[in-house]
């Protein structure tokens, strides 16, 4: 099997983005995680400037798994009122451009302890690529 080396990450990134704004609540974040069945949400400020990334794991850490996997949509947690989104999200995030190769993104994710990377073009968030996107791409190479 020979996988092409220079395919840009823009070919596999998700562009139908679920995003949060820095002013959004953690309750809203939990609702979005459940509704869209996702594990990472980019956090933006202003129009489209990425300032952080919230993972479901980040939320679970502070909520003590307070119903985070339940099917209920309106679980209220006093814990969520103790923190803001910007306190819980990862702030020192790595991003890539749409032209970054899939191989480079795979190397980045393999070397780090995170599982999603925002894709930024001229300062604007244009996509997100996750380890799941990479695995799906790899599986297609076997077809």
31, part of any domain:
yes
Reported as a single tens digit per residue, the pLDDT across 52-68 is: 999 999 998 887 645 54
- The span from the CA of 108 to the CA of 128, in Å, is 14
4, part of any domain:
no
Structural domain span for residue 125: 9-141
CATH of the domain at 60: 3.10.580.10
Residue 119 near residue 129, CB atoms below 8 Å: yes
The domain total for the chain is 1
Reported as a single tens digit per residue, the pLDDT across 68-106 is: 455 444 445 677 888 899 999 999 899 999 999 999 999
pTM: 0.84
Task: Pick the closest to residue 95 from 116, 69, 76, 80 (CA basis).
Answer: 116
Task: Pick the closest to residue 12 from 143, 142, 141 (CA basis).
Answer: 141
Residue 73 has a pLDDT of: 42
3, part of any domain:
no
């Amino acid at each position: 099997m020979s996988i092409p080396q220079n395919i840009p990450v823009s070919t596999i990134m998700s562009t139908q983005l679920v995003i949060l704004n820095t002013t959004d609540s953690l309750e809203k974040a939990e609702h979005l995680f459940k509704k869209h069945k996702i594990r990472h949400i980019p956090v933006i400020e202003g129009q489209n400037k990425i300032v952080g990334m919230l993972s479901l794991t980040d939320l679970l850490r502070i909520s003590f798994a307070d119903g985070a996997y339940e099917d209920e949509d309106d679980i209220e947690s006093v814990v969520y009122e103790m923190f803001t989104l910007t306190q819980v999200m990862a702030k020192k995030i790595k991003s890539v451009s749409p032209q970054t190769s899939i191989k480079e993104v795979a190397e980045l994710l393999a070397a780090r302890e995170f599982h999603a990377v925002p894709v930024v073009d001229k300062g604007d968030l244009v996509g997100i690529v996750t380890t799941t996107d990479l695995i799906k791409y790899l599986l297609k190479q076997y077809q």
